[in-house]
Chain A
Amino acid sequence: MKHSGRFGDYGGFYVPEVLMPVLEELEEAFYRFYEDEKFTAELAHLSKYYAGRPSPLYHAKRFSEHVGFNVYLKREDLLHGGAHKVNNTLGQGLLAKYMGKTKLIAETGAGQHGLATAMIGALFGMETKIFMGVTDIERQSVNVHKMKLCGAEVVPIEGGTGTLKDAINDALRYWTAHVTDTFYLFGSACGPHPYPTIVKHFQGCIGKETRQQCLDQIGRLPDVVVACVGGGSNAIGMFSGFLDDEDVKLVGVEAGGRSLSSGQHAATLVAGRVGILHGAKAYLLQDKEGQVRETESVSAGLDYPAVGPEHCMLKDTGRVEYVAAQDDEALDAFELLTKTEGILPALESSHALAYLMGQKGKLNREQTAVANLSGRGDKDVSIVEEHRPLEQ
């Protein structure tokens, strides 16, 4: 490896020896192409005409009235596929194409990354396999169907709890046996180096655009920027645009599940301890001896026991504040945004909105917060219905 892949002491590449050559190949290719003129031009073209970038920054006035301060939403939910995931799958998919790989594999939790990979597989004519836990397949059946319509094979994973962690385990296993022709399109800003760096790079457009849009539309930078954190890809993409703006408070919101005290949550940075999983040193939800704990969240995309290494460093340095929002708070936020703005947020993004609802009375009318609306909530309608049945 040319780079250490470390963020402070976090990250690295804790992988079996057999994966080292392919990670080195990926690192070499990324640094060769990411600033290459032809590559960046092709990616910019696809980002605009295929994915729909730039996404708008929208002043949610009725939601703002409710919380008592100005709330702007970065509308990643309006992108093709319905989430920020396409930024990364276009970038990595193009990288796969430039590397001459013909097959794509990916893990998925909520199905958004799986769908975004399946789309790119169809776009580039690559054979695509999506690894997905059986629990997630059940709660995200619409996305599963869409992936199949795009021509991807969805591989059900029964191991463990049948969630994102188990899907990553099996995707890594499959990759180990098919390293020569297969590109592993990793979905979050975690896993072994160089993935955290690659994913941050391709998601960095969120923060860059948002910063400029704030200057153009508000005339200044926001007071608070908030994003939900599972593995942490949408959050690192958003935060990366503001890390040097010391007056902008950055907040990452993890899945508090039922409650932190119940242990049934996925609040890795808030309640975890440093460990090693899926190729990186990071905060981890684990028992005393280091066995990885089962996580729980109403939102499949946040249901993950580890987190991206850069977030771990940003927590330790204090640059970003990490908090947790419980399932019921996220559901409240889902309902509020839907009722006040007619926008269905993904349950993942609803965690970021829940934080803003909690700031009512703490921020004033002159202040401005930006929330990354990382995905749309159509996929979550049946889960919301289950928890909050409509009155007949």
Chain B
Amino acid sequence: MRTYSQVFSELAKVKRTALIPFFVIGDPDFDTSLELVKTAIDAGADILELGIPFSDPIADGPTIQKADIRSLKSGMSVNMAREFIRQVKSYKDIPIGLLMYYNLVYQYGTEKFFKDFHEAGVNSVLVADLSIDDAEEIISPAASAGLDTVFMVTPVTEPERMKLIASKTTGFIYTVSLLGVTGSREDLSDTVGSLVSNLKELTDVPVCVGFGISKPEHAVTVAQAGADGVIIGSKIVGLIESNLGNKDKCLAEVSSFLTEVKKALEDHAG
């Protein structure tokens, strides 16, 4: 199974930032969602960030919340999400990070969840409502299942806490580029640069940046800041939302957007 470190060390050689698109599994339904993810892989995704939908996603903005509701209404379940991941992995061996809420892991049984989803092909599980203080609840089950850990750092995280977070991270640090919940923004916060460089001074763990990235130029800004990866969620989910009922157009728009971003990242890498 392909690992995060393989991806990041290969990209480091060509000095390119990883493209990490985010999808809610099952948005708007299982089959379309699978086609969208395959499209993203074909457009050059290096890593996938996938969300299992939750009824009360407090860390997400309206765009992803609506996607969660669409997916749940179409009948998505945690067990179907595992099957979804299997099918993605049989299409291509690409690292997959899950982004989800704790109650779903807890109800499934934390140890069993990590074991089963690792078997399905998941590399890490980021629990959106679990801060580093409670990370022990998932660190050892994740380690014994063979998973990497991914934790968040935000613009209000103090340096000491950053160090603590970095020390517990084996996959990559998910850096939130601005205060708030997920959602695409017109302008990217100017804190990105300093946040990434602060982290880079503290740790060798790869640093990926998400929240609010909606244009190829944003991705380039993140790359210039020295990040190892750029995570794009709400923009893509928004494209799905505005093309409901027109699958071909939806696939085409997601494909062309990701192709554009990938090209911008490649051009920047030169």
Question: Hey, which bits of chain A sit against chain B, CB under 8 A?
Answer: 1, 12-22, 159-160, 165, 169, 172-173, 176-180, 275-279, 284, 286, 288-292
Is B186 among interface residues, defined by CB-CB distance under 8 A?
Answer: no
Query: Which residues from A are CB-within-8-Å of B60?
Result: 173
Verify if B159 is at the interface (C-beta below 8 Å from A): no
Nearest CB on B from A110, distance (A): 20
State the CA gap A369–B48 with chains docked (Å). 60
Distance (whole angstroms) from the CB of A160 to the closest CB of chain B: 7
Q: Does more than half of chain A's interface fall in helix, strand or loop, or is it mixed?
A: mixed
Given A18-B156, A177-B180, A291-B55, A13-B131 contact (CB < 8 Å): yes
Whether B58 is near chain A, meaning CB under 8 Å from some CB there, is yes
Tell whether, in the assembled complex, residue B56 and residue A21 are in contact, meaning their CB atoms are under 8 Å apart: no
Asked whether any CB of chain A lies closer than 8 Å to the CB of B264, the reply is: no
Chain B 133-152 near chain A by CB (<8 Å), digits 1 or 0: 11000000000000000011
- Does B106 lie at the interface of the complex (its beta carbon under 8 Å from any beta carbon of A)? yes
B103 touching A17 by the CB < 8 A rule? no
Chain A residues, CB < 8 A from B57: 169
Chain B residues, CB < 8 A from A290 = 54, 78, 103-104, 106-108
Known: A17-B132, A159-B65. A289 touches B157 (CB 8 A): no
- Give Cα A22–Cα B179 distance, bound, in whole angstroms: 12
Cβ–Cβ < 8 Å partners of A292 in chain B: 55-56, 103
Q: Check if B103 sits within 8 Å of A284, measured CB to CB.
A: yes
Given the contacts A18-B154, A18-B156, A291 and B54 also touching, CB distance less than 8 Å:
yes
Alpha-carbon gap, A347 to B199, bound state (A) = 53
Q: How far is the CA of A135 from the CA of B54 in the complex (A)?
A: 21
Residues of B within 8 A of A20 (CB): 131-133, 157, 161
What residues on A are CB-neighbors of B227 within 8 Å? Answer: none
Question: Are B103 and A16 in touch, CB under 8 angstroms?
Answer: no
A286 to B156, CA, bound (A): 33
Q: Which residues of A contact B130 (CB under 8 A)?
A: 14
Q: Which residues of B contact A18 (CB under 8 A)?
A: 59, 152, 154, 156, 176, 179-180
Q: Which residue of A lies closest to B57 (CB)?
A: A169
A-B interface pairs (CB < 8 A), number: 109
* Beta-carbon contact of B59 and A16 below 8 Å: yes
Given A18-B156, A276-B129, CB of A176 within 8 Å of CB of B56: no
**Which A residues are CB-close (under 8 A) to B56?**
160, 165, 169, 277-278, 292
Report Cα–Cα, A288/B181, bound state, in Å: 27
Interface pair A278/B108, CB less than 8 Å apart = no
Indicate if the CB atoms of A12 and B134 lie closer than 8 Å: yes
Shortest A261–chain B CB gap in Å is: 23
The reply to whether B58 and A289 contact each other, CB–CB distance below 8 Å, is no
Structural contact, B157 and A173, CB atoms closer than 8 A: no
B77 within 8 A of A: yes
> Which residues of B have CB within 8 Å of A178?
179
Residues of B within 8 A of A (CB): 54-62, 65, 72, 77-79, 101-104, 106-108, 128-134, 151-154, 156-158, 161, 165, 176, 179-181
For the A-B complex with A289-B104, A292-B55 known, give 10 more contacts whose Cβ atoms are closer than 8 Å.
A1-B133, A16-B129, A17-B131, A17-B151, A17-B152, A17-B165, A18-B152, A22-B156, A173-B59, A289-B107
Asked if residues B58 and A275 are in contact (CB atoms below 8 Å), the reply is no
List, in ascending order, chain B residues with CB within 8 A of A276's CB.
Answer: 101-103, 106, 129
Supposing A17-B131, A21-B157, A275-B107 touch, asked if A176 and B55 sit within 8 A by C-beta, the answer is no
User: CB distance B103 to A275 under 8 Å?
Assistant: yes
19 contacts between A and B (CB under 8 A): A13-B131, A13-B133, A14-B102, A15-B131, A16-B58, A17-B176, A160-B56, A169-B58, A172-B58, A173-B58, A178-B179, A275-B103, A276-B101, A276-B106, A276-B129, A289-B79, A290-B54, A290-B104, A291-B54
CA distance A20 to B134 in the complex (A): 11
Query: Do residues B129 and A14 form an inter-chain contact, with CB atoms below 8 A?
Result: yes
Chain A residue contacts of B55, Cβ below 8 A: 160, 291-292
Q: Is the CB of B158 within 8 A of A176?
A: no
Chain A residues, CB < 8 A from B78: 289-290
- Residues of chain A within 8 A (CB-CB) of B134 are 12-14
Q: Please measure, in the bound complex, the distance between the C-alpha atom of A275 and the C-alpha atom of B57, giving whole angstroms.
A: 15
Smallest CB–CB gap between A111 and chain B, Å? 21
Bound form: Cα–Cα A116–B57 in Å:
27
Separation of A36 and B180 alpha carbons in the complex (Å): 33
CB distance from A163 to the nearest CB of B (A): 12
Of all chain A residues, the one with the shortest Cβ separation from B62 is A159
Closest chain A residue, CB of each to CB of B65: A159
User: Given the known A-B contacts A173-B61, A177-B179, A276-B102, are A17 and B157 also in contact in the complex, defined by CB atoms under 8 Å?
Assistant: yes
Across the interface, B181 reaches (CB within 8 A) one of A165, A173, A277, namely A173
Nearest-Cβ distance from residue A247 to partner chain B, whole angstroms: 38
**B106 neighbours in A (Cβ, 8 Å):** 275-276, 290
Shortest CB-to-CB span from A7 to chain B, Å, is 16
In-complex Cβ contact of B180 among A165, A176, A284 (8 A): A176
In Å, the complex CA distance between A16 and B211 comes to 14
Question: Whole-angstrom distance between the alpha carbons of A165 and B58 in the complex?
Answer: 11
Residues of the B chain whose Cβ atoms lie less than 8 Å from the Cβ of A275: 103, 106-107
